[in-house]
Structure 1
């Protein structure tokens, strides 16, 4: 079965947000058969120029049916009657309606996000909240799914959202092959924060980054300073000194931040019990994880799960 995807662009659209289209193209290649048929759309049709001058050819809005409709981001936000009418009609007819970055503004203007949990790029969060108070905005997410509505932070997060769509349609094995073909290390979960611990811990040397990468890849295990130092090819004493100089944190504190970030994603997704998540992320027991969450967020894991409206499961 070929799924039809309509991707809406407008003058000055962001090329980075547009890159999500490549995910569906790569899915066709990985499946070795046409799984997706992609149509680029604009209000008037014809050539549309991107933010850096790249021009794409588009089809005008019509009554054609789509399985999935995605509104791209970037450019000047002009809420025209034609755009509003098209999204209001087509948006309610598709199986899945998505938007990246500022694309959410167009969906909200068409009345499609009232009462929905959505996200957008952090830079536009205040404007979005002010203009569309009926939507429930959570700007601290890479992407967010509420029923048929998919919204992402845009930029590279649009790729993660598209990969999640492919996984929903065609399974995790094919989605992993697509990520591999796109030379991505993995598909980031939607619950990840737009600001990551790895980014906040950015250091000047590749040695410290290698130690952080080792830690992130082994969060479920017991990790000590000696192992981190070995990954960085430094002595434990030298590693601790260099690490603190470059990150402003002790190795133990940085490791806790990485564990908290990973655990928070799993808690918000709601597929596993709090106890299992504590073990998977290296906290070993839920009380130790609870204390870490209260230090970081001022609230326990259970409260974060309730806020995400996902029931706790028993493993």
Structure 2
């Protein structure tokens, strides 16, 4: 059995506990108890969550765990001496050590992240980098695996990390079944941005939202203003004006961003050729995609793919 120890402390972000459902469902589909889950804390007993209720934990001891996970917090606070000592002592006897959100600060305090690529919640990434200069903090990643260390962004990224761990242990197909059972999109790739174009645009009306949803589902087609205006049941002129007012950018610019986001995801999740990616995401040719990538990401798609392979 792969024993998973989830490390809690007073005020930890309660969403992190949702990872236990991933391991629970993985056991169901595996047909046996692959994972065992233990909630740990420095002193054991009841530990209060960020939501105000308490959960029962077991105290740190000399038990060995396959995976240790330090959950996050809504704020960054120094880890206790007991937690730091436990991480230092346990890390050499544990296959992998993980952090969610601000839990990365505890790993850094214990010296486990020195000279590694890591991520954390985007709000706390600058402080983590400034406090620990030897780290290579990437604030635009859902999760990062660097050797035995796995770090994840904040909040819902804990589910992406737990699904990635299950896939690493039990394979892609079982992880896909788990995500489907949990009614979540099959885990976002670690390299996927913490930011979503759809969330960033945040249209105010259903008509503009419907047009954007249609666009994301039909990127391969010719998404001109007239076709989007038809979906929104508006004239092309009115649609362009309202779209700009609600999202802060033109329809053409928004579609380009959606296509770049989709192209990045294709390259992160499968080994498609650049030509295939450009066709499937509606760019039509590699040069058009290259120019869009440089405008939005600051690098061509070939450089983005090399960075994926190197990481």
Q: TM-score, normalised by structure 1?
A: 0.89
Runs of 4+ in 1 over 6 A off after TM superposition: none
Q: Distance in 1 between matches of 2:306 and 2:173?
A: 30
- Residue 205 of structure 2 is matched in structure 1 by 205
For each residue in 1:163-193, what CA deviation from the matched residue of structure 2 results, as whole angstroms up to 9, or x when unmatched?
A: 1112222223332232222222442222121
Distance verdict in 2 for CA 1:307–1:278, change over 3 Å:
same
Q: Distance in 1 between matches of 2:291 and 2:109?
A: 42
- Residue 159 of structure 2 is matched in structure 1 by 159
- Residue 273 of structure 1 is matched in structure 2 by 273
Deviation at 1:292, TM superposition (A): 0.7
Contact 2:95 2:148 in 1 (8 A): yes
Q: What secondary structure sits across from 2:194 in the alignment?
A: coil
Q: Distance in 2 between matches of 1:288 and 1:76?
A: 43
- Residue 81 of structure 2 is matched in structure 1 by 81
Q: Distance in 2 between matches of 1:198 and 1:186?
A: 18
For each residue in 1:203-255, what CA deviation from the matched residue of structure 2 results, as whole angstroms up to 9, or x when unmatched?
A: 11223222222222333444444543454454555544432332232322211
For each residue in 1:86-110, what CA deviation from the matched residue of structure 2 results, as whole angstroms up to 9, or x when unmatched?
A: 1112223222221100110111111
| Gap runs ≥5 in structure 1 | none
Matched, 1:17 2:16: yes
Q: Distance in 2 between matches of 1:121 and 1:282?
A: 31
| Gap runs ≥5 in structure 2 | none
Q: What secondary structure sits across from 1:283 in the alignment?
A: coil
**Residues 1-315 of structure 1: pairs in structure 2 closer than 5 A:** 2-74=1-73, 77-234=77-234, 236-267=236-267, 271-310=271-310
Q: Distance in 1 between matches of 2:164 and 2:233?
A: 37
Q: Distance in 2 between matches of 1:263 and 1:223?
A: 16
| TM-align CA RMSD | 2.3
Q: How many residues get paired?
A: 310
Q: TM-score, normalised by structure 2?
A: 0.90
